[in-house]
Structure 1
Amino acid sequence: MQEWTGFMAAMRTGGWIMYPLSVLGILALTIIIERAYVFARFARAPTRPFPRGASVDNESSQGFDGLAPHNAFRRMAAPWLAESGSPLWLREADAQAIASQIERDMGRGLWLLETIVTAAPLLGLLGTIVGMMKSFQLFGGNGLVDPGGVTGGVAQSLVATAIGLIVAVFALFAFNYFSRRLERLMDELELFANARLNELRLRHEARGER
């Protein structure tokens, strides 16, 4: 209870700049929770992601049981199903288009997280300037008019800077994590597609096809 009271007191001390900073903090937290759910649900690899000699005749033989319908690996497997009569070059083009769409879907909102990393410290700096201006205004021609007001202005500037940095650091770690997670997912999907392509090429060569 004391921690919450202290937090609310700090928010009041920070002045009006705390409202946009709070919005950025809530927005960053929302994006982080939503992206964590998306990666946990739709970026899971199949139980046998790159089996040698495994059948590509259907999804169940590739270990997709239990994965979400829009799972990234499930989507990437669609062009490589054996019942498709498309030539290999067309399957490769379809796989590239699907990979681009998956990257867009999984990376949605990360640009906003990156923007928060930059915007939060700048808002904190703006709060610092406003607080210091408030303090300097209390110096009159006859010297210091209101010592309590000066310390309040300094406190406002420090709180705004601290909150801005906290939001930025929080968003930065999350952005770097999800960016690295997306990069690793795209590498895994490329390996997955190459394994399916090589298997189909071997089958076609065995039958004398192209």
Structure 2
Amino acid sequence: MKDWTTFLGAVQLGGWVIYPLSVLAIFAIAIVIDRSYVFLRFARTPGGSTRAAADMPFPGPAGEALDSLPAGHVFRRLSVPLADQPSAPIWYREAKAETIAATIERDMSKGFWVLETIVTAAPLLGLLGTIVGMMHSFQLFGGNGLVNPGGVTGGVAQSLVATAVGLVVALFSLFTFNYFSRRLERLMDELETFANEQISEMRLASEGQGDTP
């Protein structure tokens, strides 16, 4: 309990800069929770495997594995243009799949720009708190020397706390932003492999029908 009280006292000592930093921290945590849920529910590889799509025996668009996925799952969304309109040319369905893939990438990356902004803004706010605290300390030096030693140490402590909090918020946002960015890249690779396999099967089936007398 004493450690928690000491921590709260240190945060209060950080001055007004702690409040915008707290807002940035809340935004970062909210985005991480939201993206974690979205990736866990709507971007998991069918079967729960984390292997690349190329290593998995994906069924056809109407396969049971895809049908068991949630309605908004990325693999089900991508399979729609590949399964609909069987009489449509393959190039048309391929173009539709590319459009949906771009939409999926945009939907899955919501909030990434906020995390990226926090990575830059949090240290700058911490630096601003450092400058304000140091200015407060320097103002306590009078013409006859040091006027208030306690005030000087308080200003230095304020600057250090603001810098520390800003760095913690920035590091948290940086690590989570890099993780989700890498996860999105891997997801898009899996979707591309899945679509290429389905299109290759359609081309093979189309050529087989053309060769049938």
TM range (shorter): over 0.9
Structure 2 Cα separation of the partners of residues 27 and 82 of structure 1: 40
Alignment of 1:56-205 (within 5 A): 56=61, 58-60=62-64, 63-81=65-83, 84-205=86-207
TM-score by length of 2: 0.92
Secondary structure, counterpart of 2:210 in structure 1: coil
* Cα distance per residue 1:32-58 (max 9 Å; x no partner): 111000100110112396537x544x2
State yes or no: 1:206 paired with 2:204. no
Structure 2 Cα separation of the partners of residues 205 and 3 of structure 1: 72
Structure 2 partner of 1:51: 57
State yes or no: 1:18 paired with 2:18. yes
- Structure 2 gaps, min length 5: none
> Does structure 1 retain, via aligned residues, the 8 Å contact 2:132–2:159?
yes
Structure 2 Cα separation of the partners of residues 55 and 138 of structure 1: 75
User: Number of paired residues?
Assistant: 205
Structure 2 partner of 1:34: 34
> Does structure 1 retain, via aligned residues, the 8 Å contact 2:60–2:198?
no
* Cα distance per residue 1:95-139 (max 9 Å; x no partner): 000000000000000010000000000000000000000000000
Secondary structure, counterpart of 1:64 in structure 2: helix
More deviation in 200-209 or 86-95? 200-209
Note the C-alpha offset of 1:6.
1.7
Note the C-alpha offset of 1:84.
3.0
More deviation in 64-73 or 115-124? 64-73
* Cα distance per residue 1:148-203 (max 9 Å; x no partner): 00000000000000000000001000000000000000000000000000000000
Q: CA RMSD in A?
A: 1.6
* Cα distance per residue 1:54-84 (max 9 Å; x no partner): 544x242xx1243211000110111111653
Say if 1:125 and 1:82 are closer, same or farther in 2 by CA, change over 3 A. closer
Secondary structure, counterpart of 1:207 in structure 2: helix
Structure 2 partner of 1:9: 9
The amino acid across from 1:51 in the alignment is: P
The percentage of aligned residue pairs carrying the same residue is 62
> Does structure 2 retain, via aligned residues, the 8 Å contact 1:44–1:67?
no
